Amino acid sequence: MGISLKATFLANTLSQVFVTALAILLVPVYLRWLGAEAYGLVGLFATLQAWFNLLDMGLTPTLARESSRFHAGAMSAQAFRQLFRGMGLVFGGLAVLGAILLWSLAPWAEAHWLQRQSLLADEVLWALRAMAMAVVLRWVAGLYRGFLTGTDRQVGLAAVTVVMACVRYLGVLAAMAYWGATVQVFFDFQLFAALLETLVLVIWTHAVLPAAPNPLAWSLRSVRPVLGMGLSLAFASSVWVLVNQADKLLLSGLLPLADYGLFSLAVVLASGVMVLSGALSQALMPRLAVLHAKGQSVEMMALYRRSTRWMSAMGLGGALTLAVLAEPVLLAWTGQHAIAGKMSGVLALYALGYGFACLAAFPYYLQYALGQMRLHVWGNALMLLVLVPSVWLVAPIWGGLGTAIVWLILNFCFGAFWGGVVHRRYWPGQHLRWLWRDITLSSAPALLGAIALWLWLPLPQSRWGALAWAVFAGGTLLGLNVLVLRWRERTEELA
C-alpha cells in the first residue's frame, strides 16, 4: 500500500490547514491594501476557479481512480499511458476552449454584470482576463494532480502545495510592496504563480510516469472505456460547483463589489471547515478504491466508518465551534466591530452548511470506490432542481444571509435523507446506525459545548480578548471531541 493512510492524511491535512490558514490570515491584509471593492474581484477569482471545473467532465477524479487501479496492479503500463495521453488531449482542447470563452466574456462582465464604483473599467477588464488565464492554467494542473494523487505521491504533492501557496499568497504581497498595491499587480502575479505551479507539476509527472512498452497513439479511444464513469463524475462535480458557487456568482452581480467583498470575506473564513474534508477525501478515496479492487469489503467499510467518525468530530465539530464563535472570530480577524456584527450570521450559517457538506460527501466516496455513480447522479440532479430556484428567489431579497440559510438546509437534507437512499442500495440496514453512532455521537461533545457557550457565557468586545476567547473556547471544544472519540475507539469495535 506504500505510505500509510495516516501519514497521507496527516500530510494532506497539514498542507491544507497551512494553505487555508495562510489564505484566511492574509484576507484582512488584502482588504486593507486593495480596498473592499478590489477585494470583491479577488472573491470573484475564487468563484471563477470553481466554475471553470464545469469543463472538467469528470476527467480529474476518473484519472485519479484509474491511477489508483494502475498503482494496485489492475492495469498495464501500456494501457495507463495510453489513457493518460487521451485525457491529456481532452484537457488541452477544453483548456483552449475555456480560455477563449472567458477572454471573450470579460468585456460583457465588466460592463453589464459587475457593479463597480471607484475602480476603472480598464483595470477591471484586465483583472478579469488575467484571472481567466490563471484559472485555465490551474485547471490544467489538475490533470497532473490527479495522476500524482492516484499513484500515492500525496506527501510530496502536499509539499508542493505548501510551497506554491507561499508563492501565491506571500509573493503577491512582495510584488505589491515593490510595484504598488493595485488590481493589475495582484492579478499579474496570480497569473505568474499559476504558470509556475503548472510547470512544476508537468515536469514531476513526466519524470515518474511509467514507460510504455510500445509506441503510443494520438487517439481518444483509450478514454472511451472510462467515459461512463467520467460522465457520472462530471455531472456530480458540475452540480457540486453549482451547489457551492451559484449563490456566490449570483450575488456578484446583485451586490456592489464592496459589499460582495465583505460577503466573500465571511465565506472564505467559513470554508476553512472544508480543509479536513479535502485532505481526507484526497487520502481516503484512492484507498477505498484499492480495497474494493482487492475484494476487501469488510476492511473498506471499517475504514469508511472510522473516517466518518473523525470527520464528524473535527469537521462538524469545527463547524459548530465556528458558528457559535462567529462574531468574536470575525472581530479578532478583522479588528472591525461593524464587519463582525454585519457578517457574523452569514459566517455561522455557512460554517454549519460546510460542516454538513463534509459528511454528505461520504456516500459519494463509497459510490466512487464501487464505481457505481448512478444514485449520485440522481441525487445531485434533485439537489440542483431545489437549489437553483431557491437561490434565485432568496438572494435578491435577503442577500448573503438568505443564501446561507438555503445552503445550510440543503446540505443537511442531502446527507441525512439522500445518503440513506445510497446506503440502502450499497450498505443496507446501516444508515441510521451511521447517522447515530458515527456522526451524532462523534460530534455530540462539541454540540453540547457550543450550546453552553451560546447560552451562558458573555462574548468579549476587544480584538485581543476576542482572539484569546476564540482560541481557548474553540480549542477546548475540539479537544473534548477528540478525547471522547479516542475513548470510543478504544472501547468499541467497528464491524
Q: Label residue 338 by pLDDT band (50, 70, 90).
A: confident
Q: Which residue has the cell 446501516?
A: 430
Which three cell numbers, joined as nine digits, stand for 388?
437553483
Is the confidence at residue 55, as pLDDT, over 60?
no
Q: How far apart are CA 169 and CA 45, in angstroms?
A: 14
Question: Across residues 289-310, what is the average pLDDT?
Answer: 88
Q: How far apart are CA 77 and CA 71, in angstroms?
A: 10
In the chain, what percentage of residues exceed pLDDT 70?
A: 89
| Continuous H helices in 271-296 | 274-293
Question: Across residues 83-97, what is the average pLDDT?
Answer: 82
What integer pLDDT is reported at residue 1 of this predicted model? 45
Which three cell numbers, joined as nine digits, stand for 204?
514531476
Is the confidence at residue 230, as pLDDT, over 70?
no
CA within 13 Å, CB half, 90: 24
Q: How far apart are CA 65 and CA 286, in angstroms?
A: 6
In the chain, what percentage of residues exceed pLDDT 90?
A: 20
Q: pLDDT: is 150 or 132 the higher one?
A: 132
Phi, psi dihedral angles at 130 (to 5 degrees): -65, -45
What integer pLDDT is reported at residue 220 of this predicted model? 67
Residue of 375, 369, 202, 221 whose CA lies nearest to 281: 369
Is the confidence at residue 457, as pLDDT, over 70?
no
Is the confidence at residue 300, as pLDDT, over 70?
yes
* DSSP letter string, 86-144: HHHHHHHHHHHHHHHHHHHHHHHIIIII---SSS-HHHHHHHHHHHHHHHHHHHHHHHH
Q: How far apart are CA 407 and CA 390, in angstroms?
A: 10
| Average pLDDT value over all residues in the chain | 82
What integer pLDDT is reported at residue 418 of this predicted model? 92
Residue of 277, 247, 239, 281 whose CA lies nearest to 264: 247
Q: Label residue 442 by pLDDT band (50, 70, 90).
A: confident
Residues 6 or more apart in contact with residue 306 via CB below 8 angstroms = 489, 494
What integer pLDDT is reported at residue 14 of this predicted model? 81
What integer pLDDT is reported at residue 70 of this predicted model? 78
The 8-class DSSP code of residue 225 comes to: G
Question: Across residues 37-61, what is the average pLDDT?
Answer: 73
Which three cell numbers, joined as nine digits, stand for 442?
462523534
Is the confidence at residue 291, as pLDDT, over 60?
yes
Answer for the pair 131, 45: CB distance below 8 angstroms, yes or no: yes
Helix (H, G, I), strand (E, B) or coil at 74: coil
What integer pLDDT is reported at residue 53 of this predicted model? 60
Q: Which residue has the cell 515593490?
A: 178
Helix (H, G, I), strand (E, B) or coil at 452: helix
The 8-class DSSP code of residue 436 comes to: I
Sign (positive/negative) of CA torsion 290, 296, 300, 306?
Answer: negative
What integer pLDDT is reported at residue 428 of this predicted model? 92
The 8-class DSSP code of residue 211 comes to: P
The pLDDT tens digits for 365-408 are 999 888 887 888 788 778 878 887 888 788 788 878 888 899 89
Q: Which residue has the cell 488531449?
A: 89
Q: pLDDT: is 477 or 204 the higher one?
A: 204
What integer pLDDT is reported at residue 238 of this predicted model? 66
What residue segments make up the domains of the chain, in order of their start? Answer: 1-226, 295-495
Residues 6 or more apart in contact with residue 220 via CB below 8 angstroms = 86, 89, 90
Start-to-end CA span in the chain (Å): 22
Q: How far apart are CA 244 and CA 56, in angstroms?
A: 16
Q: Which of 55-59, 354-358, 471-475 has the lowest mean pLDDT?
A: 55-59
Q: How far apart are CA 309 and CA 79, in angstroms?
A: 38
The pLDDT tens digits for 416-436 are 999 999 999 999 999 999 999
Question: Across residues 107-121, what is the average pLDDT?
Answer: 85
Q: How far apart are CA 36 and CA 260, in angstroms?
A: 8
Is the confidence at residue 203, as pLDDT, over 90?
yes
Question: Across residues 94-116, what is the average pLDDT?
Answer: 86
**Residue 303 host element (H or E):** helix 297-311
